[in-house]
Structure 1
Amino acid sequence: MIAQRTLRTLEFHKIREEISRFCTSALGKAKVEELVPSTDFMEVVRLLEEMDEAAQMLRVKNNVPMGGISDIRPHARRAQIGGALSPVELMEVSSTIRASRVLRQFIEEMNEEEELTTPHFLEKKELLPILTALEKEINACIDDNGGVLDSASAALRTIRQQLRTQESRVRERLEGLVRGRNAAKMLSDSIITIRNDRFVIPVKQEYRGHYGGIVHDSSSSGQTLFIEPDSVVQLNNEVRRQRMREKEEIDRILQVLSAGVQEVAHECFVLVDVLADIDLILAKAKYGAANRCSTPTMNAEGHINLKRARHPLIPIDEVVPNSIAFGDEITAIVITGPNTGGKTVTLKTVGLSTLMAQAGIPVPALEGSELAVFDQIFADIGDEQSIEQSLSTFSSHMVNIVDILGKFDEHSLVIFDELGAGTDPQEGAALAISLLDEVHGRGARVLATTHYPELKAYGFNRPGVANASVEFDVETLSPTYKLLIGVPGRSNAFEISKRLGLPEHIISHAKSFTGSDSRAVDSMIASLEASRRQAERDAETAQKELQDAEELKQRLASELAQYEQQKDKLDEKAKEKARKIVDNARTEAEQVIKELRQMQLNQAGSVKEHQLIEAKKRLEGAAPENRVLQRAAKAKQIAPLAAGDEVKVISFGQKGTLVEKVSDTEWIVQMGIIKMKLPESDLNFVKPEKQKEPRTMATLKNRDSHVKLELDLRGERYEDAIMRVEKYIDDALLSNYHQVSIIHGKGTGALRQGVQQYLKKHSRVKSYRFGEAGEGGSGVTIAELK
């Protein structure tokens, strides 16, 4: 456990006060007052993970419902010993139970929606007791203002109905007196009021005997008496009796409800403890968000790496952030430099940040900072500037240091401010060196500040020790509060004196009293500072160029994304336009074919030449001039086209057969009964599923004539007809036809059966059917080929 002296020295109580402002309940504030840093590594990690989950919840949901929470532990304890709770206390119990129910539901919904996963808060949700039954029971009897409802019991409802009836009778009787003929003269005011829970009227002093009855009160002047007339005494007595019955029934109801609280008193204690813990965790997260803090990575090896850390008690717009890293190869840092330069602030920043992290509080540093979990943290820090240098000052420091030397080990962080101060400079410097050797030699992490110039060389000849200083601007004669690791502080007395107007000969005379070694050290320090400033300027320039390059990269990436998005939109638009063109062409082609079929049906299979020419022109006019589709078709072509090939006409979406090539770029294509001249770019070769022999121009040229799409067997003998069918099917397959018509007539049906029997057994015939009405009906068999 961290010593209370260290917590006071590093002002940890002020951090608790800051966090307490973000609590939503007195429970959370009480929990903050008990908050102390933990020295258990796993517990510290858990505390920071809980706080980090709370911070994420606040970022996602902006708020976590924690309203309506009260400390109901005193109520539960009184209920445990049989005491009756008041309506207000019972409402506080109900409100706290409701708050836990709402919070539990909030955590469940957030994790179910997969917006955020909070395993630690899910565990705490499981710890919250479910007391919904008690909440409903209390709410059914007590209203939001702490009053007992009529519906709390049937008896209470009846009593209150009778009470209201009796009060109405009293009011009616008194209103008759108030509105009487002499009332304006005898009464101070025409009102009915209540004194001692009884209805009375204000009567002037001189007419007190007119109404008789009981005097319950008088005005401050004594001129008005509040009298209960004789005529309403019995009625008021009945009202009083009903009120006593009402109170008895209310006490009984409260006793029953208190017994319900008694049964779950232990659960109430658990409920309050968990809610207080959650309120504390949320307060830490809110504090971190308000002060731009981050969650550090923790280790058990004593490594500290704070990135642009700020003292948490100095306003953000005033504090100068500093980065400090040690604990690995370097385990001790000695900071030298003038007073008011920020040395003590640096010590407190490291110490207080470590305490905050070990208490599960985010630290005021950039993301990626790292802190260690120490078993003990010791701090000897005193405001040396505000107390007179005397033996008592040195003694008080030494008493504390002696106490530290008896308790620290290799798992400790030790902070010394102005080590060895308050005594003779030579002895103080020697003592400071000895103390640093002792603490550093025993493996502790050490941060120390000093005025003594002898300690400037301390870090140069001891492994694991580094010098540091706070920067001082000679031009402005003021500290910059920047910490310089690796650069010891140097005296600026001569430069400051010169800037303030001290004559040059006095300064030169003073320099003659300083040793050459001292001047050489100051010269070396000055050179180091100049090199550091140049390195910082170079780093800033490089950082600026890196930032500009990153911004340019992001801008180019954004523009590229916009270009790709616009390109996709234009491609989709072009495709949609092409689809509409093809759809329109297909619709027109289908309409032409439909009309031709209708002509063929109406004109008994005979279509005139001029009708075919007109249909051909309409089909050519429907063909879309889509270069994108033509290029796509050309890209898909796998071999030179040849007469007899089956092709797909892209612009129509229809299949056809190549008849003849009329030029280098055009073909005659037959689609059904229509022949058209089409550009080769609009044709896409359709590869047959199976081919008995290779497709060559010689095969096609050796055929006697072009194979027709139909075979007429009418008038043929049966055997001859079947032979012709066999040859015709072979020729049709060689011509890559996918469908042929065989005309066998109706007759006796023998030829038809023979043809269909042959087709049924043929391996390359996919299916066959009778012709439609416009195709010849049952006198024609349509065969679909594979």
Structure 2
Amino acid sequence: MDLLDRTLAALDWSVVLQALSTHARTTRGATAALQPRFCTTLQEVGDTYAAVLEVRDLEAVGERVPVGAVTDIAPLLERAARGLTLEGAELQAVAACLDALVHLRTWVEERDAEIPRLRLLAMPIEVDGELHGVLSRSFDAGAPPELGGLSGREYPELARLHAKVESLRSRIRSTLDELVRTGLGDALQDRYVTQRDGRFVVPVRADRRRGLGIVHGRSQSGETVYVEPAAVVELHNEMEEAARELHREVGRILGVLSRMVGRFAEPLQEALDAAEAIDLVVARAGWMRALQAVVPAVGDDGVVSLRAARHPVLVLRGIDVVPHDLGLDDRRRGLVLSGPNTGGKTIALKTLGLAALMVRAGIPVPCAEGSRVDFFSPVVADVGDWQSVEGDLSTFSGHVAVLRAVLDAVRPDAPHPALVLLDELGMGTDPAQGAALARAVLEALVERGARVAVTTHYTELKALAAVDPRFEVAAVAIEDGQPTYQLLWGTAGESHALAIAAGLDLDPAVLERARSLLSRGTREVSDLVQKLEEERSGLARQRRELEARAAAIAEQEAALRQREEKLEERRRTLEERLSARFQARMKAREQELKQTISLLQARPDLRT
């Protein structure tokens, strides 16, 4: 049994990879992103995340990693390495890719101090200068098709042969044009020049063809034959020989260039792999931006401390996800999630597993800053119906087969702790025995150092935290009979099987009979849990109302403060205006007084 494949399928890992691939900028990067690749060491995770943060920071200020022009020339390199000759267009594709690789390497080197991790990734990008130069000079976008894109300036013999072919073609055309005008008279069926079998011909009446030249075909009616006049037969032969010589020379040059590419196929493949690795970092940074994800702290102690974690698959579907705080550590090695179906237990379980897988893959996690997800190996999930998981096994037998494989995979001497996610553990059999088996499995897993999260409806497992401090319980919250998809830590949740059945319009008499069949203790516990949930629901409603009132009061206080600030501003403005007027009047009076004093000093007679 391949637990990894089953875990990836159970957690919808392919959906994550598909979304990741859309952020790649090359076909190689997009293809590589679809493959489940996981870091094998904590150091590798740290290096990958460091590179992602480098790209994030660069692109946040408008820089863009120029990896998109690197094309997948790996098949061409493989053919060239086997000694096969590439077509001109294929060699031009190689040349363009080498340009892109050189540009990428130069771009990274120019920012060496800012992006040391990307610099390490780019180190294998080595392009031989001679090969790059030869390929760059060898092709001309305006070259005639007969030259296979090769440059006549770089290869003068090609230019000479091509000119010879064109000259002979021109002579043939001019000769035929002259014959059509004056030389063939009424032997012509029509006055135009066309081609048959690669040679220029003219349409001639079938009864007048003798002695005019070589016949290359006839019309459907048989009344017209297409004749190559004798005057151009030798010219045609010369042109075809020149064209064959041109073709041979083009093939020879393409062969030389192909062998040159083949000699460097291995380092060029390494350069492509390095560019692919850089593109995968770019894709991770794009994912980080799109999902508002973060790089969590990563250790090796089996700690999970997720803050406001969101299920990435639901986020990708555009669903408004209720975030979860999820935690496991050496003290709380097990988490038991309970509550009704469709309440969000399995979503929380999958969120935990996907976060661990994303860390192993170096992919940022959609959660809040300050989160931590340690390095787990293996990550195992038993989620869903495992009927026929191996041959014709029943649901329970298939379930046990998975549990056996899980227990085999979790070793106490492993270098890293395992993370095990179990949905409805112990299902498909007698409830008492199923609960006992489930507890035994959980205890065995945590004793081996694993971190375990499990969803359950078993009362025995819900009570596990009360007797084993290694376990924590949490319940999905219910308010007014509806799930809120939030987790309540330290609380066991009621399954609400009868209430859900009532909500689905099951016969009330059947429901009442089912309730009467419950043991007194079960009914009392169920009623107590339901009463507690109703009280929690009421308290939560009151809390929301109080929070809404507090928010309204805060809003009113803010409005009052704003009004007071405006009034204070008006008061200050008015005081400033009055002060300015008073100052102006005082200055005017001072000026009048000075003038009066000056006048009295100048006219003593006015003093009396």
- What band does the TM-score fall into relative to the shorter chain? 0.7 to 0.9
Q: Which residue of 2 aligns with 1:600?
A: none
Structure-2 change in CA distance of 1:202 and 1:451 (3 Å): farther
1:383 counterpart (363, 382, 385): 385
Structure-2 change in CA distance of 1:377 and 1:533 (3 Å): farther
Paired letter, 1:68: A
Q: Is the 8 A contact 2:324 2:486 kept in 1?
A: no
Paired letter, 1:338: P
Alpha-carbon deviation of 1:332? 0.9
Paired letter, 1:167: R
**SS of structure 2 residue aligned to 1:297:** coil
Q: Is the 8 A contact 2:324 2:348 kept in 1?
A: no
Structure-2 change in CA distance of 1:257 and 1:537 (3 Å): farther
Between the aligned partners of 1:182 and 1:171, the Cα distance in structure 2 is: 15
Structure 1 unmatched ranges of 5 or more:
564-624, 626-786
Paired letter, 2:473: N
> 2:12 matched to 1:19?
no
Alpha-carbon deviation of 1:373? 0.6
By relative contact order (CA 8 Å, sep 6+), the higher-ranking structure is 2
Between the aligned partners of 1:307 and 1:298, the Cα distance in structure 2 is: 14
Matches within 5 A, 1:35-434: 35-61=36-62, 63-110=64-111, 117-144=114-141, 147-180=149-182, 186-188=188-190, 190-203=191-204, 205-209=206-210, 211-215=212-216, 217-218=217-218, 224-314=224-314, 315-318=316-319, 320-328=321-329, 329-383=331-385, 392-409=394-411, 411-434=417-440
Between the aligned partners of 1:31 and 1:171, the Cα distance in structure 2 is: 55
Structure-2 change in CA distance of 1:441 and 1:208 (3 Å): same
Listed one character per residue, the Cα deviations across residues 213-233 of structure 1 (whole Å, up to 9, x for unaligned) are: 131x45566565443222111
Paired letter, 1:211: L
Listed one character per residue, the Cα deviations across residues 628-667 of structure 1 (whole Å, up to 9, x for unaligned) are: xxxxxxxxxxxxxxxxxxxxxxxxxxxxxxxxxxxxxxxx
Q: Is the 8 A contact 1:413 1:446 kept in 2?
A: yes
Q: Which residue of 1 aligns with 2:535?
A: 530
Q: Is the 8 A contact 2:307 2:371 kept in 1?
A: yes
Alpha-carbon deviation of 1:70? 2.6
Paired letter, 2:228: E
Alpha-carbon deviation of 1:532? 6.9
Structure-2 change in CA distance of 1:16 and 1:391 (3 Å): closer
Between the aligned partners of 2:507 and 2:458, the Cα distance in structure 1 is: 25
Alpha-carbon deviation of 1:415? 1.0
Alpha-carbon deviation of 1:522? 4.0
Between the aligned partners of 2:15 and 2:178, the Cα distance in structure 1 is: 69
Listed one character per residue, the Cα deviations across residues 703-747 of structure 1 (whole Å, up to 9, x for unaligned) are: xxxxxxxxxxxxxxxxxxxxxxxxxxxxxxxxxxxxxxxxxxxxx
Q: Which residue of 1 aligns with 2:476?
A: 470
Compare CA radii of gyration and give the structure with the larger one. 1
Q: Which residue of 2 aligns with 1:598?
A: none
Comparing 133-142 and 521-530, the one that deviates more: 521-530
Listed one character per residue, the Cα deviations across residues 556-596 of structure 1 (whole Å, up to 9, x for unaligned) are: 9xx9xxx9xxxxxxxxxxxxxxxxxxxxxxxxxxxxxxxxx
Matches within 5 A, 1:605-644: none
Structure-2 change in CA distance of 1:193 and 1:363 (3 Å): farther
Q: Is the 8 A contact 2:101 2:275 kept in 1?
A: yes
**SS of structure 2 residue aligned to 1:85:** coil
Structure-2 change in CA distance of 1:264 and 1:512 (3 Å): closer
Alpha-carbon deviation of 1:375? 1.9
Alpha-carbon deviation of 1:386? 12
Between the aligned partners of 2:398 and 2:388, the Cα distance in structure 1 is: 15
Paired letter, 1:99: A
Between the aligned partners of 1:5 and 1:503, the Cα distance in structure 2 is: 41
Between the aligned partners of 1:100 and 1:33, the Cα distance in structure 2 is: 23
Between the aligned partners of 1:384 and 1:87, the Cα distance in structure 2 is: 55
Alpha-carbon deviation of 1:370? 1.7
Listed one character per residue, the Cα deviations across residues 732-776 of structure 1 (whole Å, up to 9, x for unaligned) are: xxxxxxxxxxxxxxxxxxxxxxxxxxxxxxxxxxxxxxxxxxxxx
Calculate the TM-score normalised by the size of structure 1: 0.63
Listed one character per residue, the Cα deviations across residues 254-299 of structure 1 (whole Å, up to 9, x for unaligned) are: 2332343244333212211111111222122223323332222212
**SS of structure 2 residue aligned to 1:468:** strand
Structure-2 change in CA distance of 1:223 and 1:291 (3 Å): farther
Calculate the TM-score normalised by the size of structure 2: 0.80
Kindly tell me the number of residue pairs found equivalent between the two proteins: 555
Structure-2 change in CA distance of 1:49 and 1:150 (3 Å): same
Structure-2 change in CA distance of 1:386 and 1:66 (3 Å): same
> 2:447 matched to 1:445?
no
Between the aligned partners of 2:32 and 2:320, the Cα distance in structure 1 is: 29
Alpha-carbon deviation of 1:48? 1.7
**SS of structure 2 residue aligned to 1:255:** helix
**SS of structure 1 residue aligned to 2:86:** coil
Q: Which residue of 2 aligns with 1:711?
A: none
Between the aligned partners of 1:368 and 1:222, the Cα distance in structure 2 is: 88
Structure (1/2) with the larger helix percentage? 2
Alpha-carbon deviation of 1:395? 0.4
RMSD after superposition: 4.0
Paired letter, 2:524: R
Structure-2 change in CA distance of 1:513 and 1:409 (3 Å): same
Between the aligned partners of 1:55 and 1:469, the Cα distance in structure 2 is: 37
Structure-2 change in CA distance of 1:299 and 1:204 (3 Å): farther
Between the aligned partners of 1:398 and 1:342, the Cα distance in structure 2 is: 25
Structure-2 change in CA distance of 1:281 and 1:133 (3 Å): same
Q: Is the 8 A contact 1:97 1:132 kept in 2?
A: no
Structure-2 change in CA distance of 1:77 and 1:451 (3 Å): same
Structure 2 unmatched ranges of 5 or more:
143-147, 570-583, 585-608
Paired letter, 1:376: P
> 2:469 matched to 1:460?
no
Paired letter, 2:461: L
**SS of structure 1 residue aligned to 2:234:** helix
Q: Which residue of 1 aligns with 2:591?
A: none
Alpha-carbon deviation of 1:435? 1.5
Q: Is the 8 A contact 1:2 1:375 kept in 2?
A: no
Paired letter, 1:534: L
Between the aligned partners of 1:288 and 1:536, the Cα distance in structure 2 is: 35
Q: Is the 8 A contact 1:214 1:230 kept in 2?
A: no
Structure-2 change in CA distance of 1:341 and 1:542 (3 Å): closer
Between the aligned partners of 1:64 and 1:83, the Cα distance in structure 2 is: 34
Q: Is the 8 A contact 1:414 1:444 kept in 2?
A: yes
Q: Is the 8 A contact 2:25 2:279 kept in 1?
A: yes
Matches within 5 A, 1:730-745: none
Between the aligned partners of 1:289 and 1:13, the Cα distance in structure 2 is: 20
Alpha-carbon deviation of 1:162? 1.7
**SS of structure 1 residue aligned to 2:298:** strand
Q: Which residue of 2 aligns with 1:510?
A: 515
Alpha-carbon deviation of 1:105? 3.3
Structure-2 change in CA distance of 1:291 and 1:155 (3 Å): same
Between the aligned partners of 2:393 and 2:345, the Cα distance in structure 1 is: 23
Comparing 432-441 and 202-211, the one that deviates more: 202-211
Listed one character per residue, the Cα deviations across residues 421-451 of structure 1 (whole Å, up to 9, x for unaligned) are: 1111222122112222222233210011122
Listed one character per residue, the Cα deviations across residues 5-49 of structure 1 (whole Å, up to 9, x for unaligned) are: 322332323322222233333322342244422231111111122
Paired letter, 2:528: S
Q: Is the 8 A contact 2:386 2:398 kept in 1?
A: no
Structure-2 change in CA distance of 1:506 and 1:162 (3 Å): closer
**SS of structure 2 residue aligned to 1:423:** coil
Alpha-carbon deviation of 1:95? 0.8
Between the aligned partners of 1:332 and 1:364, the Cα distance in structure 2 is: 23
Paired letter, 2:327: F
Alpha-carbon deviation of 1:134? 2.4
